[in-house]
């Protein structure tokens, strides 16, 4: 039996009719539970359909009602997933109006289960009755929730009569008119495109002759999601851009160098064109000081350095020091804290380091182009305390990235406006420190501390090492209150995590990105595994052996103590709200009708770009990503919040599930630091100071924002194309003695 046919049969057996297109967006409103209230556009409320499933009765118990609430699972990361990238939910089932079980047959109790569309595997959630609910962890991409009458509370297999059933929002993804629409679009490609004034755009054919960047090169198809060939005819409605230089005139970039700087030292930093060879292509890219990534800067906490920056690019730029609470005038944001540095121009930054940890620098001008082409580097800020982290045999600093490469070279960027305005520019080659393959050799039992930074335009990674134990120690601006064992690290653009990993088994351990991708055409999930690198583990034992210290999870009491004075604000009312959403103009054909189809399902995190030939054609001219202050109705740069130095503000972010195109957003705040107090009402029990928070689709997070640093600071989405599409605001922090 074919896969869809088998699924249809399973659905019928469960008494579940496949969803009808058009019925999908309606939130399934449940009774009784607050998380099951209709959350459409209500700040502070998680979206109903992603967080609540209404259970429907069968003929066996027509008066019964029930809900399955999908509660947030606390995690050190932006969202809880398995090592394979399946989202984990705490599913809580409650029911009312169930008949006496014995009335239905030889039964004594009701049991709630969660299972996949093919009914295997099954998770037993537990006994439900009018008094008590059942709950358990569920990590299926698509799932059913079932309540059955059973002979005993101890049964491990579902055998009795079904009384209630429901399905996850992801089940509503169905193969239906999407393929037909695309086929039609492809067949009528030229005329349809011409009618919309886009596809046949004057900026030329794919593969026309000429210098790079003078013609579009279409992104290659996703290897596992094929599209009608004719879709490759569509082009973004902007001119293509790539840095134009004859590669023969450029020097090969070299791997980054370590620069150790002491208090008051000066670093000369130059952004310029470089030649790179990646996967057999010779590419013209950008680099700081001719290196990839930029120089790795080691400094001590409490010091400051001078950076004499020169722009040798073919466009204006500036350097932003991400996560660092420095003087506002050196924050490197063109038109906010400085004028852009023109080609040939220079600017001197003074960067001070109040906090230990891993930080990074990148341009804040056309990030979608400049950062993607290689302008990024790390700063490792050392605490004076030798035991700041646990003992490790070595430290490795890794920048995770992706690059969009076609047979003929890089897929060009949009010259006047960014392309990839909806999903962001997903690359198809994953990079560690600018290379497609990372390698490390260690001895058996070595503890390696990895400092991870995600510098991709839009991709959220879910990375792990095979056959090695890992614990998470720190994130953006501090250590956690206590270390935790983790299966994988979910890291959104601009976030940092510090993990300790112990390689106990000789052989090789693979650094992998394991995710669940979606074939939107046929409505199913499929796993993707990319190997980012290899760690070779020798037989020879590591000396010293840090095994004993590694096996203990350390509590960082100084972190808790530092947070203590802020606890009195934890229950304070929310002072500021932001709703994250999108406004769509006239999208190029066939993207318009596609995006507006009610049946599109938005996963809490979109891990992969599975429709590259669709994704690239929307530009920031047609798409506006929005931060909206519901208190004033103002959006983006009009929001104009004002705070005073010393303020501690509770800020709530709600990622609107019902936006025309919903997606996760890594929201970053410059110059200050914040705590993530709760997500979807579930308190965070292991706090850490952050500068970037990942907001999955439909999620609401409450942040405690500490304002200590005066000036004009940005708050924005760190998906480069969302930033280009307007998803930013500037707030002002005035000195304590000034009026508010």
Contact at 8 Å (CB) between 381 and 360? no
User: Smallest distance from the beta carbon of 607 to ligand C2O, in angstroms?
Assistant: 21
Contact at 8 Å (CB) between 687 and 569? no
For Cu ion, the closer CB: 185 or 358:
358
User: Smallest distance from the beta carbon of 454 to ligand C2O, in angstroms?
Assistant: 11
Bridge-based pairing of strands 291-292 and 254-255 is parallel
For ligand C2O, the closer CB: 256 or 362:
362
Residue of 364, 459, 621, 690 that binds ligand C2O (CB under 6 A) = 364
- Give the residue among 513, 497, 486 at the shortest CA–CA distance from 453: 497
User: Smallest distance from the beta carbon of 332 to ligand C2O, in angstroms?
Assistant: 9
User: Smallest distance from the beta carbon of 588 to ligand C2O, in angstroms?
Assistant: 28
User: Smallest distance from the beta carbon of 337 to ligand C2O, in angstroms?
Assistant: 11
For Cu ion, the closer CB: 304 or 656:
656
For Cu ion, the closer CB: 142 or 670:
670
From ligand C2O, Cu ion, none, interface partner of 366 (C-beta below 5 to 8 A by class): none
- Give the residue among 717, 239, 730 at the shortest CA–CA distance from 457: 717
Strands (E), 218-376: 240-241, 254-255, 258-260, 266-278, 281-288, 291-292, 296-300, 304-312, 319-322, 346-352, 357-363
User: Smallest distance from the beta carbon of 12 to ligand C2O, in angstroms?
Assistant: 50
Q: Is 644 exposed, middle or buried (0-12, 13-18, 19+ CB in 10 A)?
A: middle
Which region, judged by CB under 6 A, interacts with ligand C2O, from 146-154, 234-242, 338-346, 712-720? 712-720
For Cu ion, the closer CB: 115 or 478:
478
**Residues in a beta bridge with 137:** 90
Which region, judged by CB under 6 A, interacts with ligand C2O, from 128-136, 306-314, 517-525, 710-718? 710-718
Cα–Cα dist 728/725, whole Å? 9
For ligand C2O, the closer CB: 518 or 693:
693
For ligand C2O, the closer CB: 502 or 718:
718
Contact at 8 Å (CB) between 47 and 25? no
Interface map 297-336 toward ligand C2O (x if CB under 6 A): -----------------------x-x--------------
Contact at 8 Å (CB) between 612 and 405? no
Q: Which residue do the tokens 């037989």 mark?
A: 539
Q: Which residue do the tokens 């005819």 mark?
A: 233
Contact at 8 Å (CB) between 332 and 370? no
Cα–Cα dist 462/476, whole Å? 17
From Cu ion, ligand C2O, none, interface partner of 716 (C-beta below 5 to 8 A by class): ligand C2O
* Residue 365 binds to ligand C2O (criterion: CB under 6 A): no
Which region, judged by CB under 6 A, interacts with ligand C2O, from 35-43, 191-199, 560-568, 714-722? 714-722
- The residues, ordered by sequence, that sit 6+ positions from 630 with a Cβ below 8 Å of its Cβ are 43, 577, 579
Interface map 718-737 toward ligand C2O (x if CB under 6 A): x-------------------
Contact at 8 Å (CB) between 379 and 359? yes
Which residues inside 458-517 make contact with ligand C2O, applying CB under 6 A?
494
**Residues in a beta bridge with 465:** 511
For ligand C2O, the closer CB: 107 or 309:
309
Which residues inside 669-688 make contact with ligand C2O, applying CB under 6 A?
670
Cα–Cα dist 254/274, whole Å? 9
Size of the site for ligand C2O (CB under 6 A): 10
The token pair at 542 is: 């590591």
From ligand C2O, Cu ion, none, interface partner of 87 (C-beta below 5 to 8 A by class): none
Phi-psi category of residue 172: left, alpha or beta, with phi > 0 → left and psi -120 to 50 → alpha? alpha
From ligand C2O, Cu ion, none, interface partner of 673 (C-beta below 5 to 8 A by class): none
- Give the residue among 585, 674, 573, 677 at the shortest CA–CA distance from 631: 573
The token pair at 463 is: 């990375």
Residue of 468, 714, 720, 730 that binds ligand C2O (CB under 6 A) = 714
Contact at 8 Å (CB) between 67 and 176? no
For ligand C2O, the closer CB: 189 or 434:
434
For Cu ion, the closer CB: 676 or 719:
719
Instruction: Give the footprint of Cu ion on this chain (CB under 5 A).
Output: 322, 665, 670, 717, 719, 722
* Residue 668 binds to ligand C2O (criterion: CB under 6 A): yes
Binding positions for ligand C2O, rule: CB under 6 A: 320, 322, 362, 364, 494, 668, 670, 714, 716, 718
């Amino acid at each position: 039996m074919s896969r869809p046919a088998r699924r249809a049969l399973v659905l019928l057996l469960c008494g579940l009719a496949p969803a009808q297109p058009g019925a999908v967006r309606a939130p399934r409103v449940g009774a009784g539970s607050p998380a099951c209230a209709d959350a459409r556009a209500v700040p502070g409320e998680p979206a109903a359909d992603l967080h609540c499933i209404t259970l429907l009765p069968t003929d066996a118990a027509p008066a019964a009602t029930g809900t399955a609430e999908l509660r947030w699972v606390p995690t050190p990361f932006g969202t809880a997933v398995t090592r394979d990238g399946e989202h984990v939910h705490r599913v809580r089932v409650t029911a009312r109006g169930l008949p006496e079980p014995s009335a239905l047959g030889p039964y004594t109790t009701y049991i709630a289960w969660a299972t996949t569309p093919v009914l295997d595997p099954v998770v037993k959630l537990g006994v439900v009755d009018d008094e008590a609910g059942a709950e358990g962890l569920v990590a299926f991409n698509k799932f059913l929730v079932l309540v059955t009458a059973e002979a005993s509370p101890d049964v491990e297999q579902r055998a009795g009569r079904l009384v209630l059933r429901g399905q996850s929002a992801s089940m509503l993804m169905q193969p239906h008119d999407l393929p037909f629409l695309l086929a039609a679009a492809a067949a009528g490609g030229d005329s349809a495109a011409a009618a919309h004034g886009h596809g046949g755009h004057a900026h030329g054919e794919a593969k026309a002759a000429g210098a790079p960047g003078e013609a579009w090169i279409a992104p290659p198809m996703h290897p596992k999601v094929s599209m009608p060939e004719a879709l490759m005819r569509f082009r973004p409605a902007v001119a293509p851009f790539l840095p134009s230089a004859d590669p023969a005139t450029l020097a090969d970039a070299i791997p980054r160098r370590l620069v150790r700087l002491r208090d008051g030292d000066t670093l000369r930093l130059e952004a310029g064109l470089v030649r790179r060879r990646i996967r057999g292509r010779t590419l013209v890219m950008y680099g700081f000081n001719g290196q990839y990534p930029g120089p790795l800067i080691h400094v001590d906490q409490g010091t400051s350095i001078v950076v004499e920056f020169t722009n040798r690019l073919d466009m204006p730029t500036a350097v932003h020091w991400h996560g660092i609470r420095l003087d506002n005038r050196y924050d490197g944001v063109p038109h906010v804290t400085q004028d852009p540095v023109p080609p040939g121009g220079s600017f001197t930054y003074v960067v001070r380091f109040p906090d230990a940890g891993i930080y990074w620098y990148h341009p804040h001008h056309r990030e979608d182009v400049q950062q993607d082409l290689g302008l990024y580097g790390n700063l490792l800020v050392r605490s004076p305390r030798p035991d700041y982290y646990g003992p490790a045999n070595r430290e490795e600093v890794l920048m995770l990235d992706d690059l969009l490469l076609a047979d003929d070279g890089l897929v060009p960027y949009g010259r006047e406006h960014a392309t990839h305005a909806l999903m962001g520019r997903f690359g198809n080659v994953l990079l560690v420190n600018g290379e497609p393959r990372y390698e490390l050799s260690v001895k058996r039992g070595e503890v390696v501390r990895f400092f991870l930074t995600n510098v991709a335009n839009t991709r959220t990674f879910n990375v792990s090492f095979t056959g090695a134990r890992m614990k998470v120690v720190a994130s953006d601006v501090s250590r956690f209150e206590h270390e935790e064992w983790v299966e994988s690290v979910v890291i959104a653009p601009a976030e940092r995590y510090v993990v300790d990993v112990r390689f106990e088994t000789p052989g090789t351990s693979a650094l992998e990105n394991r995710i669940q991708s979606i074939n939107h055409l046929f409505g199913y999930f499929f796993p993707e595994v990319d190997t980012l690198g290899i760690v070779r583990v020798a037989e020879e034992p590591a000396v010293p052996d840090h095994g004993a210290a590694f096996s203990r999870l350390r509590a960082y009491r100084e972190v808790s103590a530092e947070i203590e004075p802020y606890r009195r604000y934890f229950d304070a009312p929310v002072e500021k709200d932001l709703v994250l959403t999108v406004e769509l103009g006239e999208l190029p054909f066939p993207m318009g009708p596609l995006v507006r189809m009610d049946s599109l399902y938005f996963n809490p995190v979109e891990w992969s770009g599975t429709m590259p030939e669709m994704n690239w054609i929307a530009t920031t001219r047609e798409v506006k990503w929005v931060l909206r202050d519901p208190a004033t109705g103002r959006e983006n740069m009009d929001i104009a919040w004002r705070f005073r130095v010393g303020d501690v503000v509770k800020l709530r972010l709600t990622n609107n599930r019902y936006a025309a195109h919903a997606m996760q957003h890594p929201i970053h705040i410059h110059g200050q630091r914040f705590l993530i107090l709760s997500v979807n009402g579930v308190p965070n029990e292991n706090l850490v100071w952050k500068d970037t928070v990942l907001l999955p689709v439909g999620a609401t997070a409450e942040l405690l924002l500490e304002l200590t640093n005066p000036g004009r600071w940005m708050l924005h989405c760190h998906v480069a194309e969302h930033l280009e599409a307007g998803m930013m605001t500037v707030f002002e922090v005035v000195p304590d003695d000034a009026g508010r």
